[in-house]
Structure 1
Amino acid sequence: MSRKDFELKINTPISDILLDTKNPRIRDGSDQADCIARILRKEDHLKVLMEDIAKNGLTTAPILVKSQNNKYVVMDGNRRITALKLLNNPKLCPNTQLKNFVTDLKEKYAKNIINKVDVLSSTNDDAIAQEILSRHDGEQGGAGQVNWNAYLRTIFLMNNSHPAEYKRSAQYAMWAEEQGIWVDDEFPITALNRFLTQENIKELGFSIVDDKLKPNISIDKVKQIAQLLFNDFYTKAATTDTVRTPALASNYVKTVRIRAGLPGSVAEEQQKATSANNNTTVQNNQHATSQAPNQSNTSPANTNSTSTTSIPVTPNHQQTSQQPAPRPAPTPVLNSWDRNKLFGTKAPQIPIPSTETKVTDIVAEIRKLNVKDNPIAVAMLLRGLIELSDKFYRTQNTLTDIGKLGKNITASANHMHQNGKINASELDAIIRFSGVANVNDNLLHVESLQKIMHRETHNPNYQLVNTFWDNIAPFVRTCWRS
C-alpha cells in the first residue's frame, strides 16, 4: 500500500456518497434504505456516534471510497456516512422514535452538522483492503470505529476476493442471511469453524459444488436448521464449549437436525428410507401372493402345517433374540426448546389485567395445550396474544398504528428500549423475530405466523414455536407492565 494510491477529494456532497451494500456490517443490502436499516441493527452504537458527530464534528480519519458512476461508494466509513445522512435528513430514519431523536440533535447542533466531507478515493483494491484492515481497533462505546471481529473481517475479505481463513463458515452464515436469517455482528465464527467439517456440512443439508455451499435437501429444512443453529449461538444456548471436540460437534449437529424434524443423521435418514422401500416391496409381494391362485395342498391340515410357527416369547428369549440398543451419545444441555408447554413451568407470569378477558382466555388456552402435539394451534393463539399485547401497549403510550404487525412491534420495542423497559439484547431479539428484517417468510417470526393458516408450506414444528416465544416473551410481558 502507498499513499500515492489514494486521491483526496475535497468537499464531496454527502448525497453523492453511497453506502456499500456489501459492507461487512450491511452484508447484503438491497438498496440504500435497506443499508441504513441494517446499520441500525446496532442502533445504540449509531445513536452514540450521531450525538458525538453532532457535538464534536467528524473525526479526522478519512472516509475511503471507490468511484462509481459519478458517485462514490463507501469502502470504510459506512457508519459515519449513515450518521451524517440521518443528521442531514431525519426523514431517512425508519422509525418515529429514532426520527425524533435525530431531529432534536439536528436542531440543537445545527451549526456543527456538515453536508460535505473530504474523502480518500482509490481504484486499487489491494491498497483499500490493507488500509481498511489496519484501521479497526478501538470502539470507544460506539463513538470510535467499532472493531471487526473474525466474522466481519472474513466477510470483508471474501467480498473483496481476498483469501479468508474462515471461508466455509462465512459462506454458511452469508447463505443464512440471504434467506432472511439474521446473524449477529458478534457471531462466533471461530466456533462454527470448529464443526463445519465436510461431514457436518452434509448433516446441515449442504453439498459443496464449485467451492460453494448448495442445499441438497428440502430448502425449508435447511433454513430451519440454520435458524436454530444461529439462534443457539446468539442466545448462548450453544457456545464454543458445545462444539469443542469433534464428538461434541457431531452430537450438537445431531440435536439440531432432530429439532428441525429430521432424523439425527443423514445415515439414519437413508436407513429409514431404505427400510420404508423394503417394507413397501414386502407388502406388495405379500399382496401379490395372496391374490395368486392356490396351486398346491389346499386342505385345512396342510394350510395349518405351513403357517407361521408360533414360538413362545419369554423375557429370556426376547433378550437373547434381540441386540441390546446402543447407548445414546451424550448431548448438549439445550432443553428450553424441547418443553411440552409453551410458557414452561418456571416462566414469569404475564401481568395481564383481569379486565382483559379475551387475552386471559387466550393465555389459559395456550397453557392447556401440549405444543408438541398442537404446534399450529399454539402458534395461532400466540399470534393473537402478540397482536393484542402490542395493541394494548400502543394504546397506553399513544403510539401510531403503522398498519403491519411486525412494524408495529418494532416501533413499540424501540419505544420500550428508549424508556428503559427492555435492554439492548432484548430489543435485538424482538426486532429479529418481528419479521421486519426477514426477506423470506418461510421462517418463523411474527409476520409468518399469519401464513400458517393460509399456506400449506407453513407448518412450524414445536421446537421453533418454543424458540420463537423465548425471544418474543420479553416484549409481551413488557406490553402489560406499562
Structure 2
Amino acid sequence: MSFRSLALSLLVVNSANDRHGELENETAAIGWLFNNRENHMRNLAKDLVAQGGIYDPPLVAPEGNKYVVFDGNRRVTCLKLLANPKRAPTIELQRFFAELREKWSGVFPERITCQVENDRDRIDEILYRRHTGTQNGVGQSTWDDRMKANFVARTGKASGLHVADEVERRLAEARVWDRRRKIPRSNMNRLLSSEAYRNRLGFSLARGQFEYTHEKDAVLKALLRVAEDLSSRKIVLGDIWDVAGKRSYLDQLDREGLLPTAAQLKAKETSSAVNVKQQSVSPPTKPTPLPRPDPRTTLIPDYLTYAVTWAGEQQRLKAIWEELQFQLKLSEHPNAVAVMFRVLVELAIENYVVKTQLTSIYEGDNLSNRAVKVAADLYSKKKIDKKYHDECKRLQNGDQLFSVATMNRWVHSPRFNPSPQHMTAMWDSLSDFIVLCINA
C-alpha cells in the first residue's frame, strides 16, 4: 500500500465501476452517476465545497500514464466537474457546478492524495471488504441506530439544523455579536452535541427547530459567553473532547451563575380553544374513528429522545436504561421491568451523590431519604422548581403508591404485583429527576 499525491487530471473515472458494470468510457460513467444518483451527487459536491476537499483517499491503480479509480469515483467525479463544469452532463448541472466552484474557499486542489495499488487482486480484496457487507466480521462493520446516535452525541454531526449557525444568527440578531467574528463551528457543535448540553444552556432542537426552553435573555447571555470562550480560544477542542470535559466547562459556567436556572424555565404554550359558530346546515355525521393504540410498549418510551449524556464509567447504568427503553416489554416482562426500574433509580441517585459529593447523605440513609435529599440539593442549585421538588418528596411517603416503598415491594413482596400503568405513571413523574441524576 502506498499513498501518493496525484494530479486530478491523471485520474480516470472507472467505466467498469461495479455500481453499473461495463460502460463505453469515462463520460458514460459520469452520465450514469447523475442519471441514477443526481441528488446524492449534488449533496456530495456541496459537502466537498463546504469542507474544502475530501477526507478518504480514492483507491486507484495505474493504467498507462493515468490512474483508474476503483473506489471514490463519486468524489473524483465531483472534483473533476468542479474543476471543469462544462463536463457535467446537462446545462443545468453545468450551471450548478459553476456556481459551486465560485464558493470554493482558497485554492482549488489540482492534486489529491490517493491510495495506489498495482495488484488488481488486492484491489478486489479491498473492495470486497468495504462494500459487500460485514462478512461475519471480515468486512466493514456498519453502525446500527444506537452506534450512529453515540457518534452524533459525541460530535454533534447530525443532519438538520447547524447548531453553530443558529447560535451565531441569534446572537447577531440580538446585536451582541459581530457576524465578522466567526465562532469555531466544529467546537461549538461538539460542545452542544446533545439535548442534555443544549438544555443546560436553555434551548432545544428536539423538534427539529431551535426553541428556547428558558427565558430568552438568560439563554443569550449564556450563549454569548460560550461564543466568546470559543472564539478567543480560551476553550479549545481538547477542553471539550469528551463528556467529562463538556460537563466540566458547563459546570464552571453554572458556578459563575451564567446558565439559565429552573426559575427562568419558560412555561409551555397551550393553545386556547377557538369557538366556531354552528352552521345552519349540519354536515353529514362522520363515524367516530377508533382510538389509536398506545405506541408505548416499554417503560422508557422508545419513541422519545431523552437529554442524557453517558460518561465512560456509566456503562451499567446505560445498559439498564437501554433494556428498559428498547428490550423489556411491559406486557411481557412486568416483574423484570419493575426490578430494573428500582435498580435504575438507585444507581442514578448513587451517581449523583458520588459526582456532587453530597455531604448531607449518610452511609445509613435508605433510598427514600437519599432521593429526597438529592431532590433538595437539585432545588437548592435551581435545577428544579419548587413544584417538582415537592413532587419528588412524595417518594418518602411509604403509604402511597408513588414512593420508594412501592418500588421495594416490587422487589421483595410475594403478593404485590407491579402494574404496567402504575410503572409508566411513575416513570413519567420521575424521568426528569433520573436524567438530572445521571447527568450530574
- Scaled by the length of structure 2, the TM-score of the pair is 0.32
- Scaled by the length of structure 1, the TM-score of the pair is 0.29
